[in-house]
Amino acid sequence: MKGYVLKKIILLFPLLFGITLITFTLTKALPGDPVYSMVGERASPQTLEKIRKEIGADKGVVQQYFGYVSLLLTGEMGRSYYTNRKVLAEITAKLPNTLKLAAGAMCLAVPLGILLGLISALKKNTAADRMITFFSVAGVSVPVFWSGLVLMLLFSLKLRLLPPSGTGDLRYLLLPALTLSLPALASIVRVTRVSVLEVMDMQFVRTARAKGIKESRVNGVHILKNAMVPVVTVIGLEFGSYLNGAVLTETIFGWDGIGRFTMEGIMKRDYPVIMGCIIVGTLIFVLINLLVDVMYYYLDPRVRVDGTER
């Protein structure tokens, strides 16, 4: 297992190099000039040239790329074109807010999704199963920006129970966390239902029931535990996407996290911000996937072969 984790960590470096190359190429291919966005098109040629030298835009693309890679190797991600603050410091300051939002969403989605998925599977083809299936399909299908606006209209403007936007305590967290949790909740319900139904037909479950083991223990230990591997995959992917920054949710509710920071960088063509957010997001996603693989190792002995993972 240690060798597997070490191998994954080593492979992280070429992956990050590839991500920086692709992202840098795509940002440079975007239409428009960030210098014009900073000072306006009516600025004098001398001013434009001076700013290009300050941000390094007067150099060739290849030289700019290797200059950025050299900067990364020193542990820095450059400075924002607009605030002149270090990008890494800004991301570090906003990451706790995104982490709080992601944790809040997962605290709603994971236990409720697993519970509803288990109930749906155990009550297959009943009214409860059909109702849960309907709402899970709706949760996956409804766009986040629409559900967010509906929740804001209901709880903030009509009932006046929660603030419509901003970053703060639990009252500010509830609406964006609920909005963000809905797609993950629906996905967890669907995957849990399918996985539980598959496990229920296996021989060891029938054997456990034939031995007279309590139904609650059969459902909670024999069935649910063995059905958790695909569910853990979905949870890991959803949590990784949350930590990457829920762009729409954070933008709608004015939540000061990485997603909103990324969107602002894109709108302003702030290339260091865009690059920094994507690199940090990739790193987080890879580490979450690594954690999911480690959980596989302990959840399902079938993925172990001579102490290593397939």
pLDDT digits (tens, 9 = 90+) for 221-261: 777 777 887 888 888 888 877 776 678 888 889 888 888 89
Whole-model pTM: value is 0.80
pLDDT band at 203 (very low <50, low <70, confident <90, very high): confident
- Domain 92-254: state its class: mainly alpha
Q: What is the 3 state secondary structure string of 251-270?
A: HHCCCCCHHHHHHHHHHHCC
pLDDT digits (tens, 9 = 90+) for 155-187: 988 888 888 888 888 889 999 999 989 988 999
Q: Decide if 110 contacts 183 (C-beta within 8 A).
A: no
Range with the lowest mean pLDDT among 209-213, 229-233, 283-287?
A: 209-213
pLDDT digits (tens, 9 = 90+) for 6-32: 777 787 788 888 888 888 888 877 777
Q: Where are the domains of the chain?
A: 92-254
Above 80 in pLDDT, residue 73?
Answer: yes
Q: Decide if 86 contacts 76 (C-beta within 8 A).
A: yes
Q: What is the 3 state secondary structure string of 164-184?
A: CCCCCCHHHHHHHHHHHHHHH
